Structure 1
Amino acid sequence: MDGPYARELAVAISAIQHAVKISSRVIASKNKGIVEKDDHSPVTVADLAIQALLTATIHSAFPDDLFVGEESAEQLRASPTLLDAVWGLLSDLDIADSVARIPASKDKLCSMLDWAGTGQPSAGRYWIFDPIDGTKAFIRGENYAVNVCLMTGPGQTLSAVGIPLLAPDAVAPINNDTTSASGSIMFATRGHGTFIRPLDGPADTPARRLPRRTADDTTQLTAVTCVEGTDSAVPGLNVKIAARLGIAYPGNDLLAWVLRWAVLGLGAADATFWVYRKRTRYGKIWDHAGAMLLFEEAGGKITDVHGKVIDIFAGRAMSSNFGFVAALEGAHARVLSAVQDAVREEGLLELLV
């Protein structure tokens, strides 16, 4: 594993491997420690323990780097029982002979969670974490992902995504319940391509480079979208967009956004589109940063519904952009046009402002 960020990638891979040990243990347990956040989305003991593990591991290796993550210590400070459960998951983790680290105490656990949970995008080096993307699917024992991204000023530099239930040789269609006993790690660094390797094994385990794909106006596309996500998207619109493009819907059905980007990078899909039902709804940086690089390095182009380049530095909420349109670069204009035409046909012109 060569390249200018080989050490960062090795540390990220080790952290992801230990994160999956935590998530696998929680999956096997009857009590997943589920609590509800202010936005009514679920969070489990695994989400909290994994973010603390990722932060502690990266901080140990790169002490000057900063963090942005989905979770904070708010729930732990309000519930000693939940704090004990998260601490127990971390304390039982065997990190001998690895670069992985855990916080030194419960107080440090809470502090490290807040480093990321209150962190903001900045101009220097910082890491973005989504400890479990697809928490609802995770609770059901379906596909989920662990997302790690390194930002270094100009943008997404490194992406490492753990996919515990997706085999490295998985083929379309890939759905929430398309699971395997063997998992994968996908990774990319800017300008060096996208790779996939088995989840287990040392950092230098051989990885397969995924092809950089091309398309034109006549290419038959395969989509990846989310059937159950209509609470945030315009109801029925994705079906109409697919019909305009002459492609099957949903093609691949995945709840987690990180997984959608990974499936695009893998080559099991060529396009995705998502129009939020409200103009004030935005993506979250941990659902997209890093994972988008997996597709970009495989030949993808990603914009918002207006055709604007995605602004990774807008904040924790990606408020400079509205929705997502992604496709192989040569087909992107066709997909964007289909999305915008479908929005107009629905009379939702306010979404294009």
Structure 2
Amino acid sequence: MSKDIPYLREIYIAQLAVKRASLLTKKIADEHLQRGISKVDKSPVTVGDFGAQAVVINSILKNFPGDEIVGEEDSRLIKSQHLETSILKEISWVQEKDSKANEQLGKIETAEQLCDAVDKGNSEGGRSGRIWALDPIDGTKGFIRGDQYAVCLALIVDGVVQVGVIGCPNLPHDLREKDSKIGGIYTAIRGHGSYFQDLSDDVTYPFNSKNRMKLHNEYDISQSRVVEGVEKGHSSHELQALIKTKLGITQPSVNLDSQVKYCAVAHGDAEIYLRLPINVNYREKIWDHASGWLLVHESGGKVTDMYGNDLDFGHGRTLDSQGVIAATSTVHPKIIKVIKEIVGEHGEELQKYCG
């Protein structure tokens, strides 16, 4: 890939950081399941969330000290529950396992460094400057049960997403293949495509562009497969079922946690991702969509709110819109048309389908 492409250094550091966080979180999740801890025990999520947020933010600010980060967590819970030792143990493990990246990413060695890194995810977002949106563990319940979750990182410059990287430790390379290898990193660069690499492969610099992704714009509705969330508390499955019926979709849906749904669409494993609100007042967080939005966009698809409006990542920490529809460019307009037929041009009937 040409060295003239913008943000190559940012892509490289983001991939290294996401890979490190993916290795850390996967170890925690695997050990949690092996020990047979109750699935309602949230301690692995707490340690994984804070550990992943710390290593990613530390990596970004070592290389781009003037940048801001929008993150989910702060260090209050770490301090109140005295979690420093547990988190540092996991961070030390991944820094040793991934030691060849220490020069690029730096190391966290003290409780002060840990808490300081976590607390740097306090940006309010906005329309000016360089702002990274981070979700250290997207898909908490999937993480706990050993299923799908993602480490998501995006660079937003002056309100526009320029780089997106998602680590998916448990996602099959091919959802349609029973014995597919699992674990990947999905990367997108605005204006220059989206790409897949095996999680176990070395990250290269300049960026390795050999595995470019393209979704199936040649498919019509009859060939299209839908991905949607596992948890009914995250999106309106009732409204989504009605939309699928009206569209005449016959392919069985695939239920996945987290932004891996965007990865499935971008990689051509599905053609439609539906996320309809369960509350008319709910607004999505930018860290839940920025990376995935760019992946699908750069794979040739389209992502909007439920009325077909562009998503605005410069509004702040949230999107000022309702719902998210990601799909191939072929079927996206048809989905929006059906949604408006059901809930009204501006959502006049949406409340009927919200809890």
TM-score (norm 2): 0.86
Residue among 96, 114, 118 paired with 1:113:
118
Q: What are the Cα deviations for residues 113-145 of structure 1, in whole angstroms up to 9, with x where unaligned? A: 1111x2211311121111111111111111111
Following TM superposition, by how much is the alpha carbon of 1:68 offset from its aligned partner in structure 2, in angstroms?
Answer: 0.8
Q: Does 1:165 align with 2:170?
A: yes
Aligned to 2:226: 223
Residue deviations 1:199-258 (CA, integer Å, cap 9, x gap): 1222226641112543587663221112x32224335211111111111465221121x1
- Cα distance in 2 for partners of 1:229, 1:48 equals 23
For 1:261 and 1:159, the matched residues in 2 are separated by: 11
Give ranges in structure 2 of 5+ residues lacking alignment.
none
Of 246, 249, 253, the residue aligned with 2:248 is: 246
Could you tell me which residue of structure 2 aligns to residue 29 of structure 1? 31
Give the letter aligned to residue 15 of structure 1.
A
Pair 217,254 (structure 1): closer, same or farther in 2 beyond 3 Å: closer
Q: In 2, are the aligned partners of 1:18 and 1:100 still within 8 Å (CA)?
A: no
The match for 2:135 among 122, 130, 142 is: 130
Q: Distance in 2 between matches of 1:131 and 1:147?
A: 6
Q: Which has the higher contact order (CA 8 A, sep 6+)?
A: 2
Distance of 1:351 and 1:307 partners within structure 2: 20
Structure 1 outlier segments of 4+, above 6 Å: 216-219
Q: Which residue of 1 aligns with 2:58?
A: 56
Alignment of 1:34-113 (within 5 A): 35=42, 43-80=45-82, 82-92=83-93, 93-94=95-96, 95-98=98-101, 99-113=104-118
Greater mean deviation of Cα atoms: 51-60 or 210-219: 210-219
What's the offset of the Cα at 1:63? 1.3
- Which of 210-219 and 154-163 deviates more? 210-219
The alignment covers a number of residue pairs equal to 337
Mapped contact 1:72–1:114 kept (Cα < 8 A): yes
Counterpart CA distance in 1 for 2:118 and 2:250 is 41
What is the one-letter code of the residue matched to 1:271? I
C-alpha deviation, 1:100, in angstroms: 2.5
**Distance change in 2, residues 1:209/1:181 (3 Å):** closer
Equivalence for 2:326: 326
- Give the share of equivalent positions with the same residue, in percent: 28
Q: Residues 145-160 of structure 1: matches in 2 within 5 Å?
A: 145-160=150-165
**Hey, what does 2:11 align to over in structure 1?**
9
Distance of aligned partners of 1:220 and 1:342 in 2 relative to their CA distance in 1, 3 Å threshold: farther
1:198 matched to which residue of 2?
198
Q: Indicate the SS of the match to 1:147.
A: strand
CA distance, structure 2, for counterparts of residue 349 and residue 186 of structure 1: 34
Partner of 1:8: helix, strand, or coil? helix
How far did residue 341 of structure 1 move?
2.3
The 1:243/1:212 distance shift into structure 2, 3 A limit, reads: closer
Matching residue's letter, 2:288? D
Matches within 5 A, 1:221-300: 221-226=224-229, 228-248=230-250, 251-256=253-258, 258-300=259-301
Q: State TM-score, norm by structure 1.
A: 0.86
The CA distance in 2 between the partners of 1:243 and 1:184, in whole Å, is 33
Match of 1:39 in 2: none
Distance in structure 2 (CA, Å) of the matches to 1:306 and 1:236: 18
Cα 1:218–1:88 shift into 2, 3 Å: closer
Structure 1: tracts of 5 or more residues without a match: 37-41
| In 1: Cα distance, 2:256 partner to 2:274 partner | 13
Please tell me whether the aligned partners of residues 165 and 291 of structure 2 are also in contact (alpha carbons under 8 angstroms).
Answer: yes
